[in-house]
Amino acid sequence: MKEAKEAQSKAKVIPHILWLVCLVLFNSGGVLAVNMTIPSTLVRGTVGGEALLSVRYISFSLDLPVIKWQLKREKFVTVVQSIGTDIIGNLRPEYRDRILIFENGTLLLHNLRLSDEGAYDVEISITDDTFPGEGGITLTVDEPISRPYIQMEASSVLELSENFILNCSHENGTRTTYRWSKGGKPLTNETRFVLSADQKLLTITRVLMADDDIYGCMVENPVGRMTSLPIRLTVYRRSSLYIILSTGGIFLLITLVTICACWTPSKKSRHPARKPLCRFDDHSHHSLINNGADVLPIMTEHNGKNVVTSLYILQQKDPSLDDMSSSSIGSPEHDRPPCYNGSLNESSCPRSTSPLGHSSQRYP
């Protein structure tokens, strides 16, 4: 009886031992599964650089592993698939000449792009193993930061000015964070110093003399950091004389604007009407000559022809010339007035009669 009972107890213990052995072998990654380890699940890269997605696996099989890398998008996109280091099939256009596979399953990406960022899944399977090894790595790709610089409206400001803004600017960089310093010490949100949501803008709500100092900003992202050159902000004291002058200037400006708005130009004509030119007849012509008037020829244009007109300038008669003028009365040369050509075809000279009774004409 005792022997029968011992045999039954041994039969019950053996299945339990076998089950425990199978469980240990499965968890230890023996011949039942590929045991894969990943040193780092987060890899950071820069645009134009390289990224090494490193993995390791252990298997008792001598067969070459089948390695498959996928990138998680809306659906999984196959990046590369290989048997050992030999790539199977054709690579997608965006991955050509940019991928290298190592024997342990590690993936090397060249000439990184911002589109390479994402979550990568790797699967390594061997024919003799029941279960493949699986794992995941997250890759981030950032653009390096260029040196930042501080922008502001002016390098000097008057005391008690409001909302003076300093802007920390830079050309390149992704996922950036900003930090401000004043006098070499970190600057945080205070009563008068307000930082924007991304901390890129620093606003001084009310400038005081104590704000006359050196300011700087630092830009940082996952692949590096850069600090701007320090810049000096000069604060001038606002005096009572400045307030008086500024108030008086504003009042003077308002007065001038009011006067200009109310003033209207006069409608009175600035130029008097011209008097019509008088025409002289032959009688007045001779009288002007007899009274000692000077005659000046003036060229005018009439109906396309050049006409000579006479301008008479009256002069005061010299008493000493009375005797000479009286003795010249009756002389033919003095009785006849000077003449000028009115046009090229006609002459304004009066005709005179020669002693022989023929008329003669004087030409200039």
pLDDT in single tens digits along all 364 residues of the chain? 445 445 455 444 444 454 444 444 444 444 467 889 999 999 999 999 999 999 999 888 888 999 999 999 989 999 999 999 999 989 999 999 999 999 999 999 999 999 999 999 999 998 877 789 999 999 999 999 999 999 999 999 999 999 999 999 999 999 999 999 999 999 988 889 999 999 999 999 999 999 999 999 999 999 999 999 999 999 999 876 566 666 677 878 888 888 888 877 655 545 555 555 444 444 444 444 444 445 455 555 555 555 555 554 545 555 544 444 444 444 444 445 555 454 444 444 444 444 444 444 444 3
- 274 phi and psi angles, rounded to 5 deg: -80, 140
Per the structure block, which two tokens stand in for 23?
């469980």
pLDDT computed for residue 219 by the predictor: 96
- 24 phi and psi angles, rounded to 5 deg: -65, -45
In degrees to the nearest 10, what's the CA dihedral of 125, 126, 131, 132? -20
Fold match between domain 35-142 and domain 149-236: yes
Helix, strand, coil percent values for the chain (each to nearest 5)? 20, 35, 40
Residue 45: CB atoms within 10 Å: 21
- The predicted model scores a pTM of 0.55
Q: Which option is the CATH number for 35-142: 2.60.40.10, 3.40.640.10, 3.30.70.100, 1.10.238.10?
A: 2.60.40.10
Nearest one of 305, 288, 304, 287 to 296, comparing CA atoms: 288
pLDDT computed for residue 108 by the predictor: 96
Measured CA to CA, the distance from residue 160 to residue 180 in angstroms comes to 22
Contact (CB, 8 A) for 102 and 117: no
Q: Under CATH, which architecture does the 149-236 domain have?
A: Sandwich (2.60)
pLDDT computed for residue 22 by the predictor: 45
Measured CA to CA, the distance from residue 218 to residue 227 in angstroms comes to 4
Measured CA to CA, the distance from residue 253 to residue 243 in angstroms comes to 15
Q: Give domain limits for the chain.
A: 35-142, 149-236, 282-360
Nearest one of 150, 136, 135, 142 to 187, comparing CA atoms: 150
pLDDT computed for residue 350 by the predictor: 47
